[in-house]
């Protein structure tokens, strides 16, 4: 079982809105008692073998269809005999602690659609690691019981999935706290968008409400924004790298390049005349 030290940054499960954007209902959040020993992230694409008439000799290339998926798997431990999470009360049944984790796999009615039920969107946060998705599996093992038959220790196998390829990081800043949401996004801190077959940078940018598709193409180092490889990953928050140029009358030229891959750079030129 992991070290129960209380002076470490603790992982949390936080509820998100249905668009996987904003953290909501803080009273449902769950701080883990023990940080997991490991996190397993797996990625998968949906591939199909093309079929049709004609010469069937050789092995036909498989084609990418639909969207990729990303899955996070981890194990959480809870023990009534160890220090409780911040704000937690003393309990004699470990299930009173694990029920906050089970909340995220319990389907809830969709607002405006009382006949439809889905589990709440969840964000797993631990330091600079962040994963958003839906909890699709939860397995609880009760391992220690009191003389009265109450479970005292539990391990929870948690699986969270997202229907896209997701590499998410959090800006923890110099002090270790998570960065606020009000400033511009840093490339690489948001989940990447996956390009379906036949898509363009302009089409993906328009679908995400981004008007400056040229900067997105430049920020991702894309030379042909009209021809994307199926399954290519794009950071739609990326911006074009800047290129600074200074020119002097004496013939000296200085160039500072921010990135080796530039498609549509922003150029600033300053000209000075010496006496």
DSSP string, the chain: -----SSSPPPEEEEE-TTS-SB--GGG-EE-SS--S--EEEEE--EE----SS---S-PPPEE-S--EEEEEEEEEEETTSPPPTTPPP-S-THHHHHHHHGGGS-EEETTEEEEEEPPEEEEEETTEEEEEEEEEEEEEEEEE-TTS-EEEEEEEEEEEESS----B---TTTSSPPPSSSPPPTTSSPPEEPPTT--HHHHHHHTT-S-HHHHHHHTT-S-TT---TT-EE-TT--PPEEEEEEETTS-EEEEES-S--SS-EEEEEEE---
Residue range of the domain that includes 129: 12-48+62-162
Same domain, 150 and 218: no
Question: What's the average model confidence in pLDDT over 28-33?
Answer: 90
Q: CA-to-CA distance for 255 and 271, rounded, in angstroms?
A: 13
Question: What's the average model confidence in pLDDT over 45-52?
Answer: 70
190 has a pLDDT exceeding 80:
no
Confidence (pLDDT) at 172: 60
**Lowest-confidence region among 71-80, 146-155, 163-172, 241-250:** 241-250
User: Smallest Cα–Cα separation from 86: which of 125, 34, 33?
Assistant: 33
Question: What's the average model confidence in pLDDT over 146-163?
Answer: 92
Same domain, 145 and 91: yes
**Assigned domain for 183 exists:** no
CA distances from 27 to 30, 58, 64, 106, 131 (A): 8, 58, 41, 16, 20
Confidence of residue 15 (pLDDT cuts 50, 70, 90): very high
Confidence (pLDDT) at 127: 87
Q: CA-to-CA distance for 16 and 18, rounded, in angstroms?
A: 7
Asked if residue 43 lies in contact with residue 69, where contact means CB atoms within 8 angstroms, the answer is: yes
256 has a pLDDT exceeding 50:
no
- pLDDT tens figures, 194-234: 677 778 888 888 877 777 888 888 888 887 888 777 767 77
Same domain, 115 and 28: yes
User: Smallest Cα–Cα separation from 47: which of 20, 31, 67, 30?
Assistant: 67
Confidence (pLDDT) at 9: 83
Domain boundary residue, one of 162, 185, 205:
162
Confidence (pLDDT) at 241: 60
**Assigned domain for 202 exists:** yes
Across the beta sheet with 12-16, what order do the strands follow? 30-31, 12-16, 121-126, 129-145, 151-162, 69-79, 40-44
Question: What's the average model confidence in pLDDT over 53-57?
Answer: 56
Same domain, 147 and 251: no
Question: What's the average model confidence in pLDDT over 67-77?
Answer: 88
Same domain, 37 and 134: yes
Confidence (pLDDT) at 214: 85
Q: CA-to-CA distance for 199 and 229, rounded, in angstroms?
A: 9
52 has a pLDDT exceeding 80:
no
Between the ranges 49-63, 100-114, 120-134, 191-205, where is the mean pLDDT highest? 120-134
Same domain, 203 and 250: no
Question: What's the average model confidence in pLDDT over 254-265?
Answer: 44
Q: Indicate the number of domains in the chain.
A: 3
CATH number, domain at 214? 3.10.350
Same domain, 107 and 201: no
β-sheet bridge partners, residue 175: none
111 has a pLDDT exceeding 80:
no
Name the residue with higher pLDDT: 1 or 189. Answer: 1
Same domain, 85 and 109: yes
Which residues lie closer than 8 Å to 129 by C-beta, 6 or more apart?
39, 168, 169, 170
Same domain, 227 and 104: no
Between the ranges 1-5, 23-27, 167-171, 256-260, where is the mean pLDDT highest? 23-27
Confidence (pLDDT) at 101: 93
Name the residue with higher pLDDT: 74 or 219. Answer: 74
Same domain, 230 and 252: no
Confidence (pLDDT) at 176: 45
Cβ neighbours of 156 (radius 10 Å):
19
Confidence (pLDDT) at 151: 93
Question: What's the average model confidence in pLDDT over 160-185?
Answer: 60
- Category of 260 on φ-ψ map: left (φ > 0), alpha (ψ -120 to 50) or beta: alpha
β-sheet bridge partners, residue 222: none
């Amino acid at each position: 079982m992991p070290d129960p030290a209380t002076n470490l940054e603790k992982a949390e499960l936080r509820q998100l809105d249905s668009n996987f954007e904003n953290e909501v209902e803080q009273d449902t959040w769950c701080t883990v008692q023990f940080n997991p020993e490991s996190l397993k992230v797996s990625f998968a694409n949906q591939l199909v073998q093309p079929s049709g008439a004609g010469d069937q000799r050789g092995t036909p290339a498989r084609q990418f269809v639909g969207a990729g998926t990303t899955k996070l798997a981890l194990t959480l431990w809870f023990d009534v005999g160890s220090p409780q999470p911040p704000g937690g009360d003393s309990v004699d049944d470990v299930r009173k602690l694990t029920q906050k984790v089970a909340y995220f796999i319990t389907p809830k009615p969709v607002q405006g659609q009382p006949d439809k039920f889905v589990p709440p969107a969840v964000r797993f946060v631990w330091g600079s690691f962040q994963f958003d998705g839906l909890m699709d599996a939860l397995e609880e093992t009760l391992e220690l019981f009191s003389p009265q038959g109450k479970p005292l220790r539990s391990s929870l196998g948690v699986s969270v999935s997202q229907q896209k390829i997701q590499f998410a990081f959090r800006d923890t800043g110099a002090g270790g706290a998570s960065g606020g949401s009000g400033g511009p996004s840093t490339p690489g801190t948001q989940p990447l968008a996956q390009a379906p077959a036949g898509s363009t940078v302009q089409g993906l940018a328009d679908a995400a409400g981004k008007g400056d598709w040229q900067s997105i193409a430049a920020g991702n180092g894309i030379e042909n924004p009209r021809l994307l490889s199926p399954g290519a990953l794009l950071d739609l928050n990326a911006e074009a790298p800047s290129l600074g140029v200074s020119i002097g009358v004496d013939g000296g030229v200085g160039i500072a390049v921010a990135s080796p891959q530039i498609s549509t750079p922003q150029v600033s030129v300053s000209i000075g005349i010496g006496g």
